[in-house]
């Protein structure tokens, strides 16, 4: 502990000595900015944090977002002890809840770049744009290690590799928070602790049946990296571990994370964690702050208060939770600087930020096949046909958690599409044949953009033991490819997806095949690589299965069994 830390602990001691039980529980409470709570809840000290995710926006533009949070903050400062609020947001690939922010490739694409400096820079920009919209806390990075691609959140994580995830997590926390958590930082959150991506059959919130030893070796290292980097918060996961819900899992949260690993920040519950996972048991397990959302507010604060009064929860546990929360508020300098900086608004979505996102798009693209060196494409080709609804739709190319929780199917402010990028660089004719019904026998090449439609969380689960069908392309998208192959036209396929899909036949049939993941707002980056202005750099962050059965092999009971032979191994990626 240096002098700064000692001073912080002293200030916490004096605040704790003045606080009532209600005020302490207040610090442990997080609600939405539009939640139905009593009029005086904030000014009476009954709320410690505000969250924004899906739902009514805090305002129409960044200035009004800031104004909303400033007025809520003023209420908190008017409370008896004047403790400021933390404002948290799901900014998981840029400030993606704000229409007009820079949206980066999802983490799976960043994992493909292997570029830690770039990941750090992306997190720094996300921090600036999130602060510009009024926040001091982001619920990112997701440091999960997906072991089953049927899971709907594979793209939120960097890789199936522990070592790569560890490096990327460190870079991301550093980018968000800076060298240490202070007034220049935004607080980051490593999530979801632990086992979220390793549930049986890839079910969101399912059971993870790995042994404690496997969890320690495979899943814990990125958390240790985040903790060593000073991550301010860790979010508990919806899944259970050997059937015990993680929210109520004292062994992992308190004994391992807090005590053995030395995490001294906030463990926050996930959505409605209190009512879903055992009420006061989650506090005893070590949850410090509860997302008391969607009607949970009253039952949570009354339930916890009763639990303390009847001895179910000790005051020492409450004091420890409040200490952790106040510690981060003090480190962030919120007592001195509680309000958002209006000067940052001008930085949202600026070209400098977009250029970094565009670099990330270019470096995330993985070239899986390049028959007869058809790529890079010649800019002077006479006629290029671009096919597929994903080609000209920034929403579809961005995936879930883009403008809306479940993503969008429309263009959004400041975004550029893949087609726009192609049109900008190609010197010849560019035709858009959205559904491959056009009559373009004379085309020199068809660029076919296909893939998944946006989803988030459980909505992206394929689930179940055998139902792996949707890990293949839709019949419509398969038809786009075969239509052009059958015309005898050279076919370049761009796959937009949040995970590897079973595309063995389509790869066979096409001349070039590129995994572009979920690139985000800067569609121009794609064409820059296709036309050779930049080289392919991306390397697979997941091994790529060759058949639907492979998913069972890869992720069956022995999913680290070396008998699994993928179509392309982890780390694969061709270059020009």
Query: Applying CB under 6 A, does 339 fall inside the site for ligand BGC?
Result: no
Binding-site member from 139, 263, 300, 513 for ligand BGC (CB under 6 A): 139
Answer whether 102's CB lies under 8 Å from 353's CB.
Answer: yes
Count residues binding ligand BGC (CB under 6 A).
7
How does 25-61 read in b/e, with b if 16+ C-beta sit within 10 Å? bbbbbbbbbebebeeebbbbbbbbbbbbbebebbbee
The four Cα atoms 270, 272, 275, 276 give a dihedral, to 10 degrees, of: -60
At closest approach, how far in Å is the CB of 173 from ligand BGC? 16
Query: Applying CB under 6 A, does 271 fall inside the site for ligand BGC?
Result: yes
At closest approach, how far in Å is the CB of 33 from ligand BGC? 12
Other Cβ atoms less than 10 A from the Cβ of 64: the count is: 13
189 vs 411, beta carbon nearer ligand BGC: 189
Query: Applying CB under 6 A, does 270 fall inside the site for ligand BGC?
Result: yes
Q: How far is CA 287 from CA 224, 291, 407, 443, in A?
A: 18, 10, 29, 60
Place of tokens 């192609």: 422
57 strand-pairing partners: none
30 vs 102, beta carbon nearer ligand BGC: 30
Answer whether 172's CB lies under 8 Å from 141's CB.
Answer: yes
Query: Applying CB under 6 A, does 191 fall inside the site for ligand BGC?
Result: yes
31 strand-pairing partners: 50
Structure tokens that stand for 63 in this block: 């200035």
At closest approach, how far in Å is the CB of 154 from ligand BGC? 14
Instruction: Say how far apart CA 333 and CA 122 lie, in whole Å.
Output: 23
**H/E stretch holding 486:** helix 475-486
Structure tokens that stand for 455 in this block: 């989803």
Query: Applying CB under 6 A, does 570 fall inside the site for ligand BGC?
Result: no
Query: Applying CB under 6 A, does 137 fall inside the site for ligand BGC?
Result: no
Q: List binders of ligand BGC among 85-104 (CB under 6 A).
A: 90
At closest approach, how far in Å is the CB of 188 from ligand BGC? 12
At closest approach, how far in Å is the CB of 139 from ligand BGC? 4
90 vs 433, beta carbon nearer ligand BGC: 90
At closest approach, how far in Å is the CB of 233 from ligand BGC? 10
Instruction: Say how far apart CA 97 and CA 91 lie, in whole Å.
Output: 7
At closest approach, how far in Å is the CB of 457 from ligand BGC? 6
Binding-site member from 53, 312, 470, 482 for ligand BGC (CB under 6 A): 53
DSSP state string for 489-527: --EEEEEE-SS--B-HHHHHHSSEEEE-----SBTHHHH
257 vs 308, beta carbon nearer ligand BGC: 257
CA dihedral over 140, 146, 152, 157, signed as positive or negative: positive
Task: Tell me if residue 409 falls in helix, strand or coil.
Answer: coil
Q: List binders of ligand BGC among 511-550 (CB under 6 A).
A: none
176 vs 191, beta carbon nearer ligand BGC: 191
234 vs 285, beta carbon nearer ligand BGC: 234
Query: Applying CB under 6 A, does 461 fall inside the site for ligand BGC?
Result: no
137 vs 517, beta carbon nearer ligand BGC: 137
Q: List binders of ligand BGC among 290-329 (CB under 6 A).
A: none
Instruction: Say how far apart CA 281 and CA 297 lie, in whole Å.
Output: 17
Q: So which residues are the catalytic ones? A: 270, 457
- Chain contacts with ligand BGC (rule: CB under 6 A): 53, 90, 139, 191, 270-271, 457
């Amino acid at each position: 502990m240096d002098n700064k830390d000692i001073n912080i602990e002293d200030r916490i001691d004096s605040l704790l000595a003045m606080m009532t039980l209600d005020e302490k529980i207040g610090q442990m409470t997080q609600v939405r900015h539009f939640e139905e709570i009593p009029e005086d809840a904030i000014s009476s000290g009954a709320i410690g944090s505000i969250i924004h995710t899906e739902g009514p926006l805090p305002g129409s533009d960044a200035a009004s977002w800031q104004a909303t949070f400033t007025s809520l903050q003023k209420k908190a400062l008017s409370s008896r002890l004047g403790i400021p609020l933390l404002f948290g947001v799901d900014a998981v690939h840029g400030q993606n809840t704000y229409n007009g922010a820079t949206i980066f490739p999802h983490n799976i694409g960043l994992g493909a770049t292997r570029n830690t400096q770039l990941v750090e820079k992306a997190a720094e920009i996300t921090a600036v744009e999130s602060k510009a919209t009024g926040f001091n806390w982001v619920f990112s990075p997701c440091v999960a290690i997906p072991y089953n691609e049927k899971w709907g959140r594979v793209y939120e994580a960097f890789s199936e590799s522990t070592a790569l995830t560890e490096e990327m997590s460190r870079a991301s926390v550093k980018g968000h928070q800076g060298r240490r958590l202070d007034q220049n930082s935004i607080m980051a959150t490593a999530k979801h602790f632990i086992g979220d991506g390793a549930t049986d059959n890839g079910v969101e919130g399912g059971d993870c049946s790995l042994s404690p030893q496997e969890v320690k070796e495979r899943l814990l290292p990125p958390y240790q990296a985040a903790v060593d980097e000073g991550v301010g918060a860790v979010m508990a996961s919806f899944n259970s571990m050997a059937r015990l819900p993680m929210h109520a899992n004292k062994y992992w949260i308190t004994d391992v994370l807090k005590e053995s690993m030395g995490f001294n920040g906030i463990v926050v519950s996930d959505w409605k964690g209190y009512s879903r996972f055992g009420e006061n048991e989650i506090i005893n397990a070590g949850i410090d702050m509860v997302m008391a959302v969607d009607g949970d507010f009253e039952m949570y604060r009354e339930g916890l208060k009763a639990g303390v009064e009847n001895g179910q929860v000790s005051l020492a546990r409450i004091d420890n939770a409040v200490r952790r929360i106040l510690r981060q508020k003090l480190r962030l300098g919120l007592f001195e600087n509680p309000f958002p900086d209006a000067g940052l608004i001008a930085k949202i979505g600026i070209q400098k930020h977009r250029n970094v996102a565009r670099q990330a798009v270019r470096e995330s693209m993985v070239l899986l096949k390049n028959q007869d060196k058809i790529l890079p494409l010649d800019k002077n080709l006479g006629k290029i046909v671009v096919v597929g609804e994903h080609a000209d739709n920034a929403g579809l190319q961005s995936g879930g958690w883009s403008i809306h929780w479940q993503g969008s199917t429309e263009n959004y402010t400041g975004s550029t599409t893949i087609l726009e990028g192609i049109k900008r660089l190609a010197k010849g004719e560019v035709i858009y044949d959205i559904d491959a019904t056009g009559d373009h026998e004379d085309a020199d090449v068809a660029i076919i953009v296909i893939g998944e439609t946006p989803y988030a969380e459980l909505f992206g689960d394929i689930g179940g033991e055998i139902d792996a069908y949707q890990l293949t392309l839709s019949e419509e998208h398969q038809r786009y490819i075969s239509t052009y192959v059958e015309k005898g036209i050279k076919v370049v396929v761009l796959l937009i997806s949040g995970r590897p899909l079973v595309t063995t036949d389509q790869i066979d049939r096409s001349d070039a095949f590129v995994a572009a993941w979920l690139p985000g707002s800067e569609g121009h980056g794609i064409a820059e690589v296709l036309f050779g202005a930049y080289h392919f750099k991306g390397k697979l962050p997941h091994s790529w299965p060759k058949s639907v059965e492979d998913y069972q092999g890869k992720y069956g009971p022995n999913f680290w069994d070396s008998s699994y032979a993928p179509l392309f191994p982890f780390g694969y990626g061709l270059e020009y």
